[in-house]
């Protein structure tokens, strides 16, 4: 059976793409940059961790247990590119461990005065944007300083923590961090809602210095999702369509070859895309507050359409079936409708992901699209050239036939039968169309 080797390249792709995930899942420990490490050492911090988003890093001293409270110091730093802006670091005692319910130290940089730092409680009203986030004293922390470090180029805040051992588990501490680009006095204004800002929470073990790695895994899987979708939906499916369009009968006939290539390309493309799609759904479920409507609707539509197309492998009506004509129209229509949806969604995905190397992603997809476009254009031009050549040839043969008929008639030989006429043309080499099938092929439009 021709399809028996499908899983080999397919499993190979999955193994390559997914292997770093397993490596990441075992890594747990993300070293700080050398410069930030130096900074934490100079502040007598014993642990240091690179956080997955916003270019942030943190260091802390070993927690000491005093009167049922864990006492330690934290240094949190990140770049602040705007002239005005803020950096926040907080802890959250709730099981969800995200923004709402967190107690945070926020350092504000304002060109009208020196950088300053205060403590805040972030609640639902902040999420719903029902009023300013004002500073208030919290039991858990005190913000000591907010300053700039020339060596790292970061702004960093220093805070002392005093966490009740009944509310906080230092081996599984939920931390959040954030950066914003505007503030009004000591009131920070809303931060952006990019994926980088949404992923800024983690669970860390203050004793061992390890973290859950959830955000690192999500960031990595988003890239896997993008690459698998670009290869599956955005490359293999269009290649399969090109094969069905140009290598079936006209301009290039490959007997059954086109069919095996079409089915192979579409099956591997569908499977690769479906895994990428599944990863997308998992990612969306793990950030349920963040809604990506256009990408979601297009993603679901593409998956449903492609599944219907792939069902052809099992449920395609036979060549002589009355329903075959309708199936052909439906399969053509749905197949072509899929292509623009796929490319719109790929560009939409890149827009959401906002990767640091956004231009490389865009360039890669534009490169694939251009290559597919150029190949299609060349094959389409060749199809029309061949079609026009056949038309001209048909016209020439028609003229010869008419001339012969009138000559024979003038010479009184009007009784010549069709079969003899056909062989006469073939003998003088001017016509290959004595076969009914080939004659039909000459008549076939490239559409």
178 binds ligand HEM (CB under 6 A): yes
Closest residue (Cβ) to ligand HEM? 349
Q: Is 295 annotated as a binding residue?
A: yes
Q: How far is the CB of 387 from ligand HEM (least distance, A)?
A: 14
User: Cα–Cα–Cα angle for 265, 271, 275, nearest 5°?
Assistant: 145
263 binds ligand HEM (CB under 6 A): yes
Q: How far is the CB of 374 from ligand HEM (least distance, A)?
A: 18
**Site pattern 181..210 for ligand HEM (x: CB under 6 A):** -------xxxx-x-x--x-xx---------
* Nearest to ligand HEM of 270, 390 (CB atom): 270
* Nearest to ligand HEM of 40, 235 (CB atom): 235
* Nearest to ligand HEM of 135, 299 (CB atom): 299
Q: How far is the CB of 93 from ligand HEM (least distance, A)?
A: 14
144 binds ligand HEM (CB under 6 A): no
Are 157 and 75 contacting, i.e. CB atoms less than 8 angstroms apart?
A: yes
* Subset of residues 62 to 91 that bind ligand HEM, contact rule: CB under 6 A: 88, 90
Q: Is 26 annotated as a binding residue?
A: no
129 binds ligand HEM (CB under 6 A): yes
* Nearest to ligand HEM of 100, 404 (CB atom): 100
Q: What is the 3-state secondary structure (H, E, C) of the chain?
A: CHHHHCHHHHHHHHHHHHHHHHHHHHHCCCCCCHHHHHHHHHCCCCEEEECCCCCCEEEECCCEEECCEEEEEEEEEECCCCCCEEEEEEECCCCCCCCCCEEEEEEEECCCCCCEEEEEEECHHHHCCCCCCCCCCCCCEEEEEEEECCCCCCEEEEEEEEEECCCCCCCCEEEEEEEECCEECCEECCCCCCHHHHCCEEEECCCCCCECCHHHHHHHHHHHHHHHHHHHHHHHHHHHHHHHHHCCCCCCCCCCHHHHHHHHHHHHHHHHHHHHHHHHHHHHHHCCCCCCHHHHHHHHHHHHHHHHHHCHHHHCCCCCCCCHHHHHHHHHHHHHHHHHHHHHHHHHHHHHHCCCCHHHHHHHHHHHHHHHHHHHHHHHHHHHHHHHHHHHHHHHHHHHHHHHHHHHHHCCCCCCCHHHHHHHHHHCCCCCCCCHHHHHHHHCCCC
Q: How many residues interact with ligand HEM (rule CB under 6 A)?
A: 74
283 binds ligand HEM (CB under 6 A): yes
Q: How far is the CB of 86 from ligand HEM (least distance, A)?
A: 8
**Site pattern 346..385 for ligand HEM (x: CB under 6 A):** x--xx-xx-------x------------------------
222 binds ligand HEM (CB under 6 A): yes
**Site pattern 87..126 for ligand HEM (x: CB under 6 A):** -x-x-------xxx-x-x-x---------------x---x
Q: How far is the CB of 406 from ligand HEM (least distance, A)?
A: 41
**Stretch of residues binding ligand HEM (CB under 6 A), selected from 57-65, 145-153, 229-237, 406-414:** 229-237
**Stretch of residues binding ligand HEM (CB under 6 A), selected from 25-33, 146-154, 203-211, 326-334:** 326-334
179 binds ligand HEM (CB under 6 A): no
């Amino acid at each position: 059976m021709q399809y028996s080797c499908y899983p080999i390249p397919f499993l190979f792709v999955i193994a390559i793409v997914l292997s770093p995930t397993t490596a990441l899942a075992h890594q747990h420990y993300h070293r700080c940059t050398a410069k930030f490490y130096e900074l934490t050492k100079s502040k007598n911090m014993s642990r240091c961790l690179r956080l997955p988003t916003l270019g942030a890093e943190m260091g802390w001293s070993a927690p000491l247990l005093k009167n049922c409270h864990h006492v330690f110091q934290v240094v949190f730093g990140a770049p602040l590119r705007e002239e005005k802006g803020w950096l926040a670091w907080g802890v959250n005692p709730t099981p969800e461990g995200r923004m709402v319910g967190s107690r945070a130290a926020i350092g504000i940089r304002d060109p009208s005065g020196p950088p300053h730092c205060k403590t805040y409680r972030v609640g639902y009203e902040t999420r719903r944007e029902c009023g300013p986030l004002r500073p208030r004293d919290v039991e858990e922390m005190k913000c000591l300083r907010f300053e700039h470090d020339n060596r790292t180029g970061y702004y960093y805040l220093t805070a002392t923590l005093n966490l009740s051992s009944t509310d906080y588990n230092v081996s599984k501490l939920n931390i959040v961090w954030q950066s914003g680009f505007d503030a009004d006095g000591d009131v920070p204004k809303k931060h952006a809602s990019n994926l980088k800002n949404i992923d800024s929470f983690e669970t860390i073990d203050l004793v061992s210095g390890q973290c859950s790695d959830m955000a690192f895994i999500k960031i990595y899987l988003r890239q896997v999702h993008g690459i698998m979708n670009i290869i599956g939906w955005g490359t293999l499916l269009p290649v399969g369509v090109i094969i069905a369009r140009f290598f079936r009968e006209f301009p290039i006939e490959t007997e059954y070859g086109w069919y095996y290539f079409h089915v192979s390309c579409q099956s591997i493309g569908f499977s690769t895309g479906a895994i990428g799609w599944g990863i997308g759904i998992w990612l969306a479920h793990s950030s349920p507050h963040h809604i990506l409507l256009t990408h979601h609707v297009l993603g679901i539509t593409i998956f449903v359409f492609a599944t219907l197309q792939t069902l052809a492998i099992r449920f395609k009506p036979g060549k002589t079936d009355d329903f075959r004509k309708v199936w052909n129209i439906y399969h053509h229509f749905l197949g072509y409708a899929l292509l623009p949806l796929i490319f719109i969604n790929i560009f939409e995905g890149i827009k959401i992901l906002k990767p640091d190397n956004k231009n490389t992603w865009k360039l890669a997809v534009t490169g694939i699209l251009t290559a597919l476009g150029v190949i299609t254009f060349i094959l389409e031009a060749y199809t029309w050239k061949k079609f026009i050549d056949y038309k001209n040839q048909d016209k020439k043969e028609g003229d010869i036939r008419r001339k012969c008929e009138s000559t024979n008639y003038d010479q009184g030989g009007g009784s010549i039968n069709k079969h003899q006429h056909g062989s006469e043309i073939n003998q003088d080499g001017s016509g290959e169309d004595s076969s009914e099938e080939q004659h039909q092929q000459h008549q076939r439009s490239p559409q």
